[in-house]
Structure 1
Amino acid sequence: MLLIATMAPVGSARAADSLGVFDGWAAFRDARAGRCYAIAEPERGTAGGQARAYASVGTWPERGARSQLFVRLSRPQADKSRVYLSIGERRFALVAGPGRAWAQDARMDAAIVSAMRSAETMSIEGTGGNGRPFYDLYVLKGAATAIDAAALACPAR
């Protein structure tokens, strides 16, 4: 959990306000950036990951964005390779950029968050730049509460 607390600013050196820690997930409000988010690190993954992986579900009221998934991968994926998110029996093909991935649209975001609420784990899978498969496994205990805390902290305007 200490690692989650140190990741809180997600790409920024600014301080974010902690909204709470809920098992393996935490929620934060970053008033300066106008966003709130739930975040977790993977429970385990492919050994030798090059980046500090995390999954987050964020809300940006001023942009009209609610419950958007963003994943930083543990390693850069191979060019033109697909990145998949699996939750229970559901499998989602994500949009991928260098070392990161996200849902294709708001409908997929909603389906992902809904699936997260009723599953125990989710995994991110892809092919690394070295041609080897990689995966990151996230335990979802506490995810729904963290997502709700973030959404309540950044209400729609």
Structure 2
Amino acid sequence: MIKRWTILPIAALSALAAFAGAAQARESLGLYGTWGAFRDPLVPRCYAIAMALPSTLRRDYQPYAAIGTWPKRAARNQVHFRLSRKLAEGTKIVLRIGRERIELTGGGGDAWPKDDHDNAAIIAAMRSATRMTVYARGETGGRFSNTWPLAGAASAMDAAAIGCAQLR
């Protein structure tokens, strides 16, 4: 039985990929659970991406998590979160993933790991955890969170890495 929260992110990813594909010549490398993998040979870059679980709460942005690879920059598996709200100045941003609790850095509506060590820890935890949640305080003062199921994340990350293996 397919659950509603599974169909919505896949539909959103498909719509995003269709629009992005027409506008930027991005290629789909596949859908894996709630995660998709894409290649943009013009940049070149590849990435795994997923939309956060739906919410009825106010959102400033459509939240997503992405893991990108840029072969020309020698950057691989770089974690990025687009959060649902604009962040309060100086807010503490925390990612809970499995048993890990990692403090992130960020601004505006974006967050990312503080350093390569935290980035690697997030990638490793994504391969075995079932979900991840980012917690922060919005610019209007209220706390908020965004959650991503991780079923398919490892496969999407692998597809993105393979998709960029020949792009230089």
What's 1:99 paired with? 109
Per-residue CA deviation, residues 112-134 of structure 1 (Å, 9 max, x unaligned), is 01000000000011000110000
Compute the TM-score of the two structures, normalised by the length of structure 1.
Answer: 0.93
Deviation at 1:63, TM superposition (A): 0.5
What's 2:13 paired with? 4
Q: 1:50 to 1:63 in 2, by over 3 A?
A: same
User: Aligned partner of 1:134: which letter?
Assistant: F
Check the 8 A contact 2:51/2:65 in 1, yes or no.
Answer: yes
Root mean square deviation of aligned Cα: 1.8
Q: Secondary structure at the match of 1:126?
A: strand
Q: Secondary structure at the match of 2:162?
A: helix
Check the 8 A contact 2:67/2:79 in 1, yes or no.
Answer: yes
Decide which structure has the larger Cα Rg and report it. 2
Q: How do residues 66-77 of structure 1 correspond to structure 2 at under 5 angstroms?
A: 66-77=76-87
Q: Which runs of 4+ in 1 moved over 2 A?
A: 5-10
What's 2:88 paired with? 78
Distance, in Å, in 1 between the alignment partners of 2:80 and 2:51 is 12
Distance, in Å, in 1 between the alignment partners of 2:116 and 2:28 is 26
Segments of 5+ residues of structure 1 without an aligned counterpart are none
Is 113-122 or 78-87 further displaced after alignment? 78-87
Q: How do residues 27-38 of structure 1 correspond to structure 2 at under 5 angstroms?
A: 27-38=37-48
Deviation at 1:14, TM superposition (A): 1.1
Deviation at 1:42, TM superposition (A): 0.7
User: When you count helix as a share of all residues, which structure comes out higher?
Assistant: 2
Distance, in Å, in 2 between the alignment partners of 1:85 and 1:135 is 9
Equivalent of residue 19 in structure 1, options 22, 29, 40: 29
Q: Secondary structure at the match of 1:118?
A: coil
Q: 1:76 to 1:4 in 2, by over 3 A?
A: same
Percent identity over paired residues: 43
Check the 8 A contact 1:57/1:70 in 2, yes or no.
Answer: yes
Segments of 5+ residues of structure 2 without an aligned counterpart are 1-9
Distance, in Å, in 2 between the alignment partners of 1:90 and 1:72 is 20
Deviation at 1:45, TM superposition (A): 4.6
